[in-house]
Structure 1
């Protein structure tokens, strides 16, 4: 039997349509994923975590920790053992004065009713002072003068560094949602009404301006939408 080009094209299109419409099933229950008719449980392909701005991936591995020499004093406090370190991300360079000033600027711009938030984030420039050295120019100019804007920030304590990392996590995730069209840029966020990753995950997103592209909610049969979840793999983990 001879088949013309139209018939062959129609058969190919039918095969492609049947493959495209086939839903992935759970290997434990047999229920369809991403199908509102089967409850709407979602499973998405994950290509891997994207690298955040300014970060580099450090691949993990295993190494031998401890002394390989004879323990002459028999203290046994440095026993040779194998240690595995998982892969992790770290900044390509130190956090600069410019990076940290951007953080303080944001705090002062957003927390207008709580000026102490921005004040408490300022680094301690007195760390430059020393009895046997004349470092007053650094005390006065190092943090703010443009000549030092790409130098590492100093005088930041552990609590301030932790708060900076949390702020940076939120700003990067906010940028990702804006890039994906899920949120619109909103420079007028004020006080507590600003984007926070943890608050967004639990549905506390009042005051945020939604974009044109929202996630499809398969729990709703007729075109429902939802917020981004951690399971979607879109936003990044905490810094």
Structure 2
């Protein structure tokens, strides 16, 4: 197998830690269309990020996209009928990022710790913590002695590096939102764009303190720098990316960018004031989210290791090459390549020579990664994806980034000030989208609603039949979510990346976990070195004669 790993060392001090062909091409500091110089106060202060360099967020690997046959991996398993799993279709997946491993128990405990310390002393938000708790009762079986897992699996250090289970699709999606804010806050504070964690808790009037620095820490005296429990601008509200970008959250750090806009008031020394980081600055990461089904299947197959000059040399059944489930290498010959159930009642093999070394789950770093550098894309635990389940999903779908489950929503704003309303958790209040196009100013002020707009096409072309009592005659609905990958509790047929099953988004099991993904912005090519490239000549900057 041609092993191609896209390992990336990402500095916690900014998104621009890695170079990429997706960088800014605005090398000129002068507008090609108007002749005005960028980043100059005297020319109006329009700012353009120069030399932007993208990179993945913490825990993520770069997945270079491309076309593939979705469901096509389901054709070569001897003796198994895979036709019911998928309708094969050629699709294209844009480049994106995906977690190297499944989210572990330690990762989830960090999440719970943040909730407990950030909202300490606020009993009205106890529901927040309780709602985030995994359901450890998923381990209970009427005819099994699994009580040790009920009591120990989530919190005992013996299972710290094991994948979190008992989490619903909704809980996984909430974790993605939380993770986005914590990562972005860390970057802004470590780079000094906001008050650093080290300076939090210092008196605002102290030496070197900024005028509007945060002065409180939700975890009280002795809070550590990486707890993420800092309040925003002394308000006690946790940092939120959307509110920060809208100027409603966060504070101005010592190294915050200068506000070069013409209307900004200068300081007594004639220095431009500082401002919040903007999206245009390229410092904020895109949101963490669950991968789409197409992204997950594409990443699991790892066909990049089988591709040469746009030709796929060898098809795959599993994330590794070959038809078997054991290693062909001399040093590991015969060893099982994933954590799954070999047969009824055989969860780990014979004592003294355990085939997959795990009766239940295993460490998220178990076995060998696929050609994208992703661990356990087959076995260990099944993984939630974003999509709503339909059996005929791929008969009616887009060819680019296919996905089923869009529910469009907008942040609820004050029509006059554009301020975003926030909930008790410091996050924006979302409302269903009311129109598919930009509203006129008059419509916006009158809270105009286009009642004919249909934001959700999840049930598009899907027949639904009602029973006499009004209940739907179907096992799936708009809250049925897809999960993929196979698990410690599944046999080999479910390890195929094309295999797909579903469960209600508010249900959980002992064999479903998840990993996060992130959208990649800019050019889709991840590594351009050594590849033929067209040479582009930049336009000459305009000069007034």
TM-score (norm 2): 0.36
Name the count of aligned residue pairs.
207
Q: What's 2:91 paired with?
A: 83
Tell me by how many angstroms 1:46 deviates. 4.1
Summarize deviations over 1:167-214 as a string: whole Å, max 9, x none.
Answer: 111010011011211122144335961111111000112xx4542111
Structure 2 contact 252–275 (Cα < 8 Å) conserved:
no
2:259 to 180, 198, 217: 217
1:194 to 228, 235, 238: 238
Matches within 5 A, 1:69-148: 78=87, 81-112=89-120, 113=122, 114-148=125-159
Task: Give the greater-gyration-radius structure (CA).
Answer: 1
Distance 1:168 1:24 in 2: 35
Distance 2:176 2:131 in 1: 15
Summarize deviations over 1:7-51 as a string: whole Å, max 9, x none.
Answer: xxxxxxxxxxxxxxxx72212222221111111111112433222
Distance 1:56 1:62 in 2: 19
Tell me by how many angstroms 1:64 deviates. 3.6
Q: What's 1:152 paired with?
A: 163
Structure 2 contact 137–150 (Cα < 8 Å) conserved:
yes
Distance 1:209 1:150 in 2: 35
Structure 2 contact 184–285 (Cα < 8 Å) conserved:
yes
1:47 to 25, 32, 52: 52
Structure 2: gaps of 5 or more residues:
1-27, 76-85, 201-216, 219-229, 267-271, 289-545
Distance 2:51 2:165 in 1: 39
Q: What's 1:73 paired with?
A: none
Distance 1:98 1:66 in 2: 34
Of stretches 114-123 and 219-228 in structure 1, the one that deviates more from structure 2 is 219-228
Distance 1:116 1:151 in 2: 26
1:56 to 55, 61, 66: 61
Q: What's 2:429 paired with?
A: none
Q: What's 1:17 paired with?
A: none
Query: Which structure ranks higher in relative contact order (CA pairs < 8 Å, sequence separation ≥ 6)?
Result: 2
Q: What's 1:18 paired with?
A: none
Distance 1:66 1:197 in 2: 36
Summarize deviations over 1:58-88 as a string: whole Å, max 9, x none.
Answer: 1111124467x9xxxxxxx946x53211111
Structure 2 contact 134–167 (Cα < 8 Å) conserved:
yes
Summarize deviations over 1:102-140 as a string: whole Å, max 9, x none.
Answer: 101110111121222111100000111122322111011
Structure 2 contact 251–276 (Cα < 8 Å) conserved:
no
* Greater helix fraction, Structure 1 or Structure 2: 1
Q: What's 2:306 paired with?
A: none
Residues 153 and 199 of structure 1: CA distance in aligned 2, closer, same or farther (over 3 Å):
same
Distance 2:175 2:103 in 1: 10
Distance 1:55 1:237 in 2: 12
Tell me by how many angstroms 1:238 deviates. 0.3
TM-score (norm 1): 0.79
RMSD value, Cα = 2.3
2:176 to 139, 158, 165: 165
Distance 1:221 1:118 in 2: 43
Helix, strand or coil: the match of 1:115?
helix
Structure 1: gaps of 5 or more residues:
1-22, 70-76
Residues 96 and 194 of structure 1: CA distance in aligned 2, closer, same or farther (over 3 Å):
same
1:226 to 268, 275, 279: 275
Structure 1 contact 49–236 (Cα < 8 Å) conserved:
no
